[in-house]
Structure 1
Amino acid sequence: MGAQLSGPRRTLVLGVGEVPWDAPVAAADDAGLRGDGFFETLLVRGRHAVRLAAHLDRFERSAAAFGVGLDRDAWTALAVAATADLPAAGEAVLRWSLSRDGLGLVTVRPVPDGVRAGRRGVDVVTLARGTATVPDAPWLLAAAKTSSYAVNSAALREAARRGAQDALFVDADGLVLEAPTANLLWTAGGRWFTPPRSGRAVLPGTTLEAVAGELNVEEAHVRPAELAGADGAWLLSSLRGAAPVLRLDGTALPHDADRTAALRGIALGTG
């Protein structure tokens, strides 16, 4: 069991409203319990959901990929209701989820200690994910943030077993794809890069999108050994923001604190 976290915990059900945090809300055969659903995770800072519109956009794209309807106004209202009574200062995690059977949930919980620690930097290992490219097959849901997260969770457990805090997936050609819950950003020679996403089962991240809007980020293939020669690398995600990669497969990577601070300001909506 993990350490208990102090702070707000709330559950709201689409079409119902708020229920007790630990109330049973799903039928035993709900599709979401077998991974047939999708979700979004947002950082809340001082009652403000960071990049709310961008997350709603991706939530709608996931709904379209699943072929289900989504009432944007209803989800916005749930997000507002869930965060309205939070402390004016501090952070929380807001999560939306919708199953194919129509069970919609919004939860609020404290930011895990591991997320906060990861903002200072992470050691990363590379893990094989196999397929080099993804065919034109919409049933693979490559562009949706699905609740089928068993592989991602298993990858993070394997990283922890190896003494690291995160992982980078590499494809069958040895090229870096993404982390289980983050996109990769690196800099070399004064330029910013991220792995190509189209056709490679790399989920476009809202944080990467925000950073790319401020910086001239180019798409480029990269191998793990090449990252060791970069001027710095970061994992971008909604909760950690920009987590500097301190070690990759045991090799130390350069870390510029000023660059990290600037990226974090963009990524966490404070810059």
Structure 2
Amino acid sequence: MDATASDLIKDSKKALNVLIKQPEIDPKRISVIGHSEGTMYAPRIAIDNSTIVKNVILMGTLAQNPVKDLYYYPVVTSPLDYAKQVLDKNNTDSISIKDLSAYQLLTKFLLPISILNTNSTQDIAKALQKNFGSKESIDIEKELQSLFIKKYDNLTSFSLSKCNLLRPCPIWWQSISNLEPNPSIIGNISKSTDVLLLNGENDSQTPVQQAFLLQQRLTELNHPDHTLITYPNLGHLFSPSPKWSTGQGPIEQYVLADLYTWLEAHSGLSHSSIYTTKHNTTLDTNSHSSGG
């Protein structure tokens, strides 16, 4: 893929221009939604189209930049925590090769995809054995962590010429890493544009702390209407997920209900001045028209 962040932003602006020309569209009630990588683009689209964008919704929020730093969490921090907290049952600070080979959550960062595609845990164990010699167990802090870091360095190298499911494309990677981080540009969003942040508390790709950073920045800037809702037990795709990986189910209905209710209250279509949430979420708001 040769598309850059600039290309994707331009495409989004073109789509917005097409949208507002449709006769059934009210150009004063336009909302822009970005998810994950899209949360880097949606604020920029709103900033450059401040007269027509009424609302910005960011789901699975990216705040940190360079994005390279964010990759450290899913590639090093999260799998290392998993090894310590889940697999090291006897608190020995080590893990057996046999146990390690059974968890693709960890081995996907240590072995080629071609080996992982096999259904044989025994074959995976043999491949791991080549990395660790004749050892039956490995030290989590020293050996396992160093391998995760090596994988991270390989994934985030701009010198790579190819991309795959685990490796970002160099052209795109360089372009998005050169973008100013969201906390630096979020203050340029018009005060008349309302902002909604949604994040799963078990998001293993864009950790919920990213949403907290952006919400804190909006508060510091005295943005008049911004709301953060976090969801226990939901992951990056807003479906039930452990904190170590991303669940692949559909978006939970109550998340969609929150999104609809917020849009209704912030689009001029509703006379309601109070936004409430009735399920088990965390709602943080700094808004003249919102409460919870």
**TM superposition score category, shorter chain reference:** under 0.3
Q: Which has the greater radius of gyration?
A: 2
User: Which one has a larger percent helix, Structure 1 or Structure 2?
Assistant: 2
Which structure has greater strand proportion?
1
Under a length normalisation based on structure 1, what TM-score does the superposition of the two structures give? 0.26
